[in-house]
């Protein structure tokens, strides 16, 4: 990569707990961004997908990588599009999010939201799992990883919101409940029962066709819109 992603960013935001409204005094600052790379990365053989800052918790995605993740139903990036408006860097960010909300989001998100939640739940009380020092401390203190528990609850609730309302509220309206879970306010048995109820609700929505989301992304329209956006950005910089 021979360019500074900071100079080509169309979206920059604080993600993670800062976005959810569950951040603590010692919470990480999860900075995320979306970048439109120089013209040669779109027209030639070179490729840019993402940049991880080695010194800070910053991850910047190429616009095409971001759109593909949204179309797959990735929970981490879908939630960015419902961040408060002051998170959006400029008109290109608003343009991109509108395109993705209209054409990229679909019921494909079910698989990835459930997958994330069940993978976390499967190992939530395993002290030997790779969950970092903080995670091991939580397991030792509460008997399970309460940070992961709050994440599981949030992800499944967001899945239901997307399926039934087609949007998310950020920061999360039940941030106080998520913080209570994070601080060990729920027993593991209660957590498991709640998760079972949420999973059953999602399956019912899917099986009975109750979701307002389309079955799959509108790829033709999505591709057309992204070509227009990227072309406009590069022409404005006199790169094409």
For 169-184, the pLDDT digits (tens) are 999 999 999 999 999 9
148 and 71 in a common domain: no
Residue at 212 is within a domain = no
Chain centroid, CA 163 distance in Å = 15
Does the pLDDT value for residue 87 go beyond 70?
no
Residue 35 domain boundaries: 5-105+217-236
Query: Dihedrals φ, ψ of 143, to 5°?
Result: 95, -10
pLDDT-wise least confident of 18-27, 107-116, 195-204, 222-231: 18-27
The pLDDT value given to residue 166: 97
pLDDT at 167 over 70: yes
Percent with pLDDT over 90 in the chain: 82
- Give the model's pLDDT for residue 174: 97
167 located within any domain? yes
Residues recorded for the chain: 240
Q: Is position 114 within any domain? A: yes
**Average pLDDT of the chain to the nearest whole number:** 94
CA atoms within a 13 Å half-sphere pointing along the CA-CB vector of 50: 14
Residues in Cβ contact with 217 at an 8 Å cutoff, skipping those fewer than 6 apart = 71, 103, 104, 105, 106, 108
Q: How many separate domains does the chain show?
A: 2
Residue 189 resides in a domain: yes
Q: Are 154 and 178 within one domain?
A: yes
On whether both 127 and 201 belong to a single domain, the answer is yes
Summarize pLDDT for 34-78 with one digit per residue, the tens. 999 999 999 988 999 999 987 788 999 999 999 999 999 999 999
Residues 6+ apart with CB under 8 A from 21: 170, 171, 172, 175
Does 144 fall in a domain?
Answer: yes
Contacts of 72 (CB under 8 A, 6+ apart): 108, 112
Model confidence at 88: pLDDT above 70 = no
Q: Is the model's pLDDT at 25 over the cut of 90? A: no
Task: List Cα–Cα distances, 51 to 17, 85, 92, 203, in angstroms.
Answer: 21, 24, 20, 36
Cβ partners under 8 Å of residue 34, min gap 6: 9, 10, 11, 60, 61, 62, 63, 66, 93, 96
77 located within any domain? yes
């Amino acid at each position: 990569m021979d360019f500074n992603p900071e100079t080509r960013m169309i979206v920059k935001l604080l993600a993670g707990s800062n976005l959810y409204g569950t951040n603590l005094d010692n919470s990480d600052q999860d900075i995320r961004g979306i970048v439109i790379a120089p013209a040669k990365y779109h027209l030639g053989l070179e490729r840019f997908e993402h940049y991880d800052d080695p010194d800070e918790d910053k991850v910047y995605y190429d616009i095409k990588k971001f759109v593909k993740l949204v179309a797959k139903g990735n929970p981490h990036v879908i939630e960015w599009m419902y961040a408060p408006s002051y998170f959006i860097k400029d008109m290109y960010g608003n343009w991109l999010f509108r395109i993705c909300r209209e054409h990229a989001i679909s019921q494909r998100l079910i698989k990835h939201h459930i997958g994330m939640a069940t993978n976390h739940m499967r190992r939530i009380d395993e002290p030997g799992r790779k969950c970092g020092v903080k995670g091991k401390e939580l397991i030792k203190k509460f008997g399970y990883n309460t940070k992961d528990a709050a994440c599981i609850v949030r992800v499944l609730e967001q899945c239901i919101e997307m399926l039934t309302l087609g949007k998310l509220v950020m920061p999360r309206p039940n941030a106080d409940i998520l913080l209570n879970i994070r601080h060990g306010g729920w027993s593991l048995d209660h957590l498991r029962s709640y998760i079972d109820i949420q999973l059953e609700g999602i399956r019912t929505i899917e099986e009975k066709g109750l979701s307002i989301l389309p079955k799959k992304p509108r790829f033709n329209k999505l591709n057309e819109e992204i070509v227009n956006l990227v072309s406009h950005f590069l022409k404005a910089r006199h790169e094409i």
